[in-house]
Amino acid sequence: MNLTETILEKARLNLAKTAIVFEGRSHSYGELARSVGQHAGWLSRLGVKKGDRVAIQLPKGLEFIHLHLAVLALGAVTLPLNPGYTAAETGYFLSDSGASLLFTDRAGTKRGPEAGKIPTVLTDDPEHYTGPLGEAALEEPGPGYPTRADDAAMICYTSGTTGQPKGAVITHQNLLSNTAALHEVWHWTDRDVLLHVLPLFHVHGLCVALHGSLCKGATVVMLEKFEAARVWRTIAEGTCTMFMGVPTIYQRLVADLDGRRPDTGSMRVFVSGSAPLGEGLFQKFQDLTGFRILERYGMTEAQMIASNPYDPDRRIPKSVGYPLPGVAIRVVADSGEEVAAGEIGEVWVKGDNVFQCYWHRPAETAKAGPWLKTGDLGYRDPRDGGRLYLVGRARELVISGGFNVYPKEVENVLDNHPAVRESAVFALDDEDLGERVAAAVVLEKGKGEVTAAELVGHCKEHLVGYKCPKEVFFVAELPKNAMGKVQKQVLKSTLG
Ligand code: MCA
Ligand code: AMP
């Protein structure tokens, strides 16, 4: 089954129903189906066919959604890209994935010449767009479209310990099975109205929030950007029932209230994920709103893995709950053996939710499976039915405001600066972001002076903003163990 077809089936049941309200503009299921059909026809005329990778690097909006669902309808593969990526990052994703077409806008072309290396459509250029689209109106995509459950639907890039991002290939079956599991455990119905403030270029905002809603025939109220006061105002209007955010978003929502009690009369559930939700924040949110945040755990390669129960009394802070239906979890020691109940080990995952492969990387794929090794450390509580707790990460990873930053990727950029001998990138605790990216830098003697601001500027030329260090410390040398490995814990405790 094709994800788009599943959504269009819902659309046919109630064409007049509101699918998405984007920044106040209402879009019915009928309009959604028509737009997706038009875009699919247009993509076909542009030569897109099954298996082709189509990059979408657009601001959050209906255009992104129509293109994405049209790409999937054709059996092609969406490559969602953060519009904040630099030319170098964009160029890497386009060439590594072998994308045949890029959708971006005029703002995107300012990024640099990389994008122009493959056929590019500017969605805000009427010459390239409105004309052909107007003519391309195709029949609504029907079951005749050539997609099977195990066909690739998306390639989502995730970095890694080497600093070389890898494309996780996610199938229609991955998406649909996970969406169905979330419908069940979160009691999601077609009467729900989800307030959507997340970016669309990650699994959280695109697959969990958007696909989750549309596959149920529910409604999405979408804001282009998260802003705490607007979220409370929108909730107070009394139509929204669900909200999803990362802990930084909840932190800002609490701060914005400044002790006030918000009007949450229509709300049913607030969900958090992508990073650990602190117990203090969980408690403050409950004190102010009466809602116990429902925390769940996911990963790009596995969509959603575990969730707290829907029953508010069974939502426990610092626990990510139980595996979703159809998902199996093991907690495993370095030896590869499962640890005893209650002991800490690496979380491994298996199920229909787990991705197919890393694009063009059979060795990396083999290393990741057959049970997906998440790199997250946790334990299961035998007294509470094996409830899962995450306690840390086996891999070096900073999660800043819900975005993952792999230190090696930033270190590679810093080390390329002529004044830098070596660098170490690590996490510092941060009240707003959970963790913030920090760098310790040893300068090359005799290569001139460089300031912290200049090094951050150098990073910004090569990396999207959230990966760039918020702080740079100049040190005489990096603390290393006997094996020559940098001791990042020492940096954190001495510099933090
Ligand atoms: C923005 N900036 C950040 C971050 N976000 N810096 C560090 N960490 C961040 N998370 C920087 C920008 O580079 C910019 O820097 C400045 O902050 C202002 O940018 P702006 O876009 O205005 O930021 P914001 O609106 O304050 O964004 C905060 C945010 C956002 C709303 C919390 O980071 C966000 O939407 N996070 C959610 C991420 C997410 O969806 N993750 C899911 C992936 P400068 O001024 O220097 O240029 S994980 C996933 O999908 C798995 C499956 C899962 O489990 O969910
Ligand atoms: P990504 O690779 O961007 O999909 O991020 C996945 C990672 O986010 C996971 O491997 C975890 O480290 C982290 N993560 C997601 N949800 C949670 C959560 N609820 N608590 C702690 N960490 C989480």
Q: Is the CB of 158 within 6 Å of ligand 2?
A: yes
Q: Is the CB of 275 within 6 Å of ligand 2?
A: yes
- Residue 204 CA: which ligand 2 atom is closest? 4
Torsion of CA 177, 179, 185, 188, to 10 degrees: -140
Of all protein residues, the one whose alpha carbon is nearest to atom 45 of ligand 1 is 465
Structure tokens at 41: 């026809």
Q: Is the CB of 276 within 6 Å of ligand 2?
A: yes
Q: Which of 218, 176, 165 lies closest to 360 in space, CA to CA?
A: 165
Residue 368 sits in the same domain as residue 479: no
- What pLDDT does residue 164 have? 85
Q: What is the pTM of this model?
A: 0.96
Angle, helices 3-13/29-45, rounded to nearest 10 degrees: 140
- What pLDDT does residue 143 have? 41
Residue 359 sits in the same domain as residue 428: no
Q: Which residues contact 32 (CB under 8 A, 6 or more apart)?
A: 7, 11, 19, 20, 65, 66, 69, 214
Domain boundary among 85, 115, 147: 147
Q: Is the CB of 295 within 6 Å of ligand 2?
A: yes
Q: Does residue 133 lie in a domain region?
A: yes
Identify the residues whose C-beta falls under 6 Å from ligand 1. Answer: 198-199, 202-205, 225-226, 246, 248-249, 273-274, 298-300, 400-403, 433, 465-466
Residue 332 sits in the same domain as residue 404: no
Alpha helices by DSSP H, listed for 103-246, are 106-109, 130-135, 172-185, 203, 212-214, 228-236
Parts of the chain with a pLDDT under 50: 140, 142-144
- What pLDDT does residue 212 have? 98
How are beta strands 372-381 and 387-393 bridged, if at all? Answer: antiparallel
- Residue 374 CA: which ligand 2 atom is closest? 10
Residue 369 sits in the same domain as residue 386: yes
Of all protein residues, the one whose alpha carbon is nearest to atom 22 of ligand 2 is 275
Domain boundary among 345, 365, 393: 393
CA of 466 to the centre of ligand 1 (A): 6
Q: Does residue 160 lie in a domain region?
A: no
For tokens 């429902």, what's the residue? Answer: 294
Residue 296 sits in the same domain as residue 367: yes
pLDDT, one tens digit per residue, over 238-259 is 999 999 999 999 999 999 999 9
> Is residue 234 a contact partner of residue 240, using CB atoms and an 8 Å limit?
yes
Omega before residue 370 within 30° of 0, cis: yes
Q: Does residue 157 lie in a domain region?
A: no
The closest ligand to the CA of 392 turns out to be 2
Residue 226 sits in the same domain as residue 311: yes
The domain tally of the chain equals: 3
CA of 299 to the centre of ligand 2 (A): 5
- Residue 246 CA: which ligand 1 atom is closest? 37
Of all protein residues, the one whose alpha carbon is nearest to atom 20 of ligand 2 is 276
Give the span between the Cα atoms of 53 and 56, in whole angstroms: 10
Domain boundary among 125, 147, 169: 147
CA of 134 to the centre of ligand 1 (A): 35
Q: Is the CB of 82 within 6 Å of ligand 2?
A: no
Q: Does residue 153 lie in a domain region?
A: no
The closest ligand to the CA of 456 turns out to be 1
Q: Does residue 162 lie in a domain region?
A: no
Structural domain for 327, as ranges: 193-393
CATH number of the structural domain spanning residue 416: 3.30.300.30
Q: Is the CB of 299 within 6 Å of ligand 2?
A: yes
Residue 424 sits in the same domain as residue 389: no
Residue 474 sits in the same domain as residue 411: yes
Residue 441 sits in the same domain as residue 466: yes
CATH number of the structural domain spanning residue 94: 3.40.50.980
Give the span between the Cα atoms of 123 and 128, in whole angstroms: 7
Of all protein residues, the one whose alpha carbon is nearest to atom 2 of ligand 1 is 466
Residue 380 sits in the same domain as residue 422: no
CA of 14 to the centre of ligand 1 (A): 35
CA of 403 to the centre of ligand 1 (A): 6
